[in-house]
Amino acid sequence: MRDMAKKILIIGSGIIGASLAYHLAAKGAEVTVLDANGSVGGVATPNTWAWINSSWGNPEPYVKLRMAAMEMWRPLAAVHPKLAVNWCGGLLWDLGEAEMAEYVRHHTAMGYEVRLVDQTEATRLEPQLTEPPKFAAYSIAEGMIEPSDAVNGFVQAAEVLGVKFIGDQSVSQIMMKNGRVVGLKCGDLVWPADEVILATGAATNYLLENIDVKLNLDSPAGLLVHTHPTVKKLNGLVMSPEFHVRQTNKGRLVLGSDFGGTQPGDDPAATAAEILAKLPGLISGTAGLEMEYFTLGYRPTPGDGFPAIGRLKNIEGLYIAVTHSGITLAPAIGAFGAAEILDGVRHELLVLYHPDRLTL
């Protein structure tokens, strides 16, 4: 039987910690979220490109997990208005023609709404493209969300259910007793818990190392340029071979070498200026558009490129939730994680993504 009053501490208030907090509280758990960052909202999360997708380059089980997560975003719009995704669609031609056709065939067979379009249709979809592609893949199923809105939507929905978010607690140690996690330490302060969740993104190994665990995790840097707000230039997400670009709900164009951003190099400001200089080649009427700022984010990335979600063998009371593509996956990780933690039911779409496979 489920323990309705299970006391859960989540470390990390990015999109993953916030989604888990909401989904656990919705199932009756008593949840507190601790973050070292001085406020809630995450570190990688505010610096993301925020494309919600199940695009090319992934094996079938992972495509299915991503597609399930995409569907799970839809009902969240009724939970909180900030969780409403802009289902704007994505136009992509950063692949060769044959690979693009194979991508469309492969994903269509799995029920993904994607199709090949010619230049006329690409122009209709995105009339401001300077040189519309002759051949592209268009997915009407894809969308974007402003990441700070999304995290705040989860935080506010969780707070209504009684979750406490504490933004000034740097967790220094996981406390163990007889192979079981019993709480956390923040300096001299002790936080007892029945279950601890690490939603700590790129910083996950720092805490695991003090219980002698290390996971194969990487955190590649990604720089994104944000222009000043401008008139509507794009209808949806655009993934060209040169760079990926989208327009936010405030009118800023956000671009990087791809969705994961650009390697910043030794001089990130110069790198940002170089990316911006390419914009008029893709979108007409952007020649004088200036950069408002650039962001530099570090993408929490398990070594094999897939999520690390679940409990570690031989350590009770500790649940790990670290992934790239966290914006796409947040609803699924939140809901499936809550079901596993509270009901002991591991969702079949998570079966391949046990964190033990990454233990070094």
Using alpha carbons, select from 262, 196, 197 the residue that is nearest to residue 226. Answer: 262
Least distance to ligand FAD from the beta carbon of 86, Å? 13
**Secondary structure (3-state) at 243:** coil
In the list 132, 133, 143, 261, the residue contacting ligand FAD (rule: CB under 6 A) is 261
Instruction: Pick the stretch among 73-81, 134-142, 153-161, 202-210 that binds ligand FAD (CB under 6 A).
Output: 202-210
Least distance to ligand FAD from the beta carbon of 9, Å? 10
**Secondary structure (3-state) at 159:** helix
Q: Does 33 bind ligand FAD (CB under 6 A)?
A: no
Instruction: Pick the stretch among 43-51, 127-135, 175-183, 271-279 that binds ligand FAD (CB under 6 A).
Output: 43-51
Using alpha carbons, select from 335, 341, 353 the residue that is nearest to residue 154. Answer: 335
Least distance to ligand FAD from the beta carbon of 163, Å? 15
291 has which bridge partners? 227
Give φ, ψ of 228 to 5 degrees. Answer: -65, 155
Instruction: Pick the stretch among 85-93, 131-139, 285-293, 317-325 that binds ligand FAD (CB under 6 A).
Output: 317-325
Count CB atoms within 10 A of the CB of residue 249.
11
Q: Does 26 bind ligand FAD (CB under 6 A)?
A: no
Least distance to ligand FAD from the beta carbon of 120, Å? 28
| Long-range residue pairs from 55-59, CB within 8 A, at least 24 positions apart, any chain | 55/90, 55/92, 55/103, 55/139, 55/142, 55/239, 56/92, 56/95, 56/99, 56/100, 56/103, 56/106, 56/107, 56/137, 57/103
Q: Does 207 bind ligand FAD (CB under 6 A)?
A: yes
264-303: contacts with ligand FAD (CB under 6 A)? 297-300
Q: Which is nearer to ligand FAD, 11 or 129 (CB)?
A: 11
Token look-up 């994505």 returns 90
Q: Do 139 and 90 meet the contact criterion of CB atoms below 8 Å apart?
A: yes
**Secondary structure (3-state) at 200:** coil
Which tokens in the block code for residue 171? 């967790």
Q: Does 323 bind ligand FAD (CB under 6 A)?
A: yes
Least distance to ligand FAD from the beta carbon of 37, Å? 4
In the list 25, 43, 253, 349, the residue contacting ligand FAD (rule: CB under 6 A) is 43
Q: Does 216 bind ligand FAD (CB under 6 A)?
A: no
The residues binding ligand FAD (CB under 6 A) are 11-17, 34-37, 42-45, 47-51, 170-171, 199-203, 207, 222, 224, 259-261, 297-300, 323-328
